[in-house]
Amino acid sequence: MDPSFELFDHTADIGLRIQAPTLPELLKPAADALYAVIGKVAVTDDAGKMSFDLRADDSALLLRDFLARLLVLFECEARVIRSIEVHTFNEHRLIATAQTARVDYDHSLFSHEAKAITYHELSIRSSPDGLVATVIVDI
C-alpha cells in the first residue's frame, strides 16, 4: 500500500482517513490531508527545520498531537512542512525532524479554517495493507 489520504464529510467537521503501511509513513499523508482541508497551500522559500519529540499514551494521540502542532505552525508562523524524517514513532513516542517552507498567501487558495484537531473518532487500526488512521478536524 502506498501512503495516502482521503477527506470525508463529518457534521461541522471534516474527517481525514489516512492509510500507510507503517506508523512512520502515516505522518506525511496526514500532514498533506490537513493542508488539503485548509486549501491549496502554496509555499515560497525554505523556512528551516522543525523538531518533534512527543509523548502520549498511544500512537493515535501522538498523531493528533503532531497534527495539532502543524496547525499551530501554520496559524502562528505561516509555515508548513515539506518533508519529514521520522526517527521514532511507536505507541508512546514520536521523534521526527521536518523541513518547513513559508506559506505564500498571494498564491494560496484557502477552503476552510481548521480550528482544531479533535479527539472525536480518533483511531489508528490495522488493515490488510497496513494501517488506517481516522482524525476529525474542527472547521
Instruction: List the chain domain ranges.
Output: 4-138
Answer yes or no: are the C-beta atoms of 18 and 55 closer than 8 Å.
Answer: no
Please give the pLDDT value at position 130: 96
The per-residue pLDDT for range 119-135, each reduced to its tens digit, is 999 999 999 999 999 99
Please give the pLDDT value at position 88: 97
The pTM score is: 0.91
Question: Could you say which of 2.40.128.110, 3.55.10.10, 3.40.225.10, 3.40.50.450 is the CATH number of the domain covering 4-138?
Answer: 3.55.10.10
Q: What is the C-alpha to C-alpha distance for residues 98 and 83, in angstroms, rounded to an integer?
A: 6
* Ranges of the chain with pLDDT below 50: none
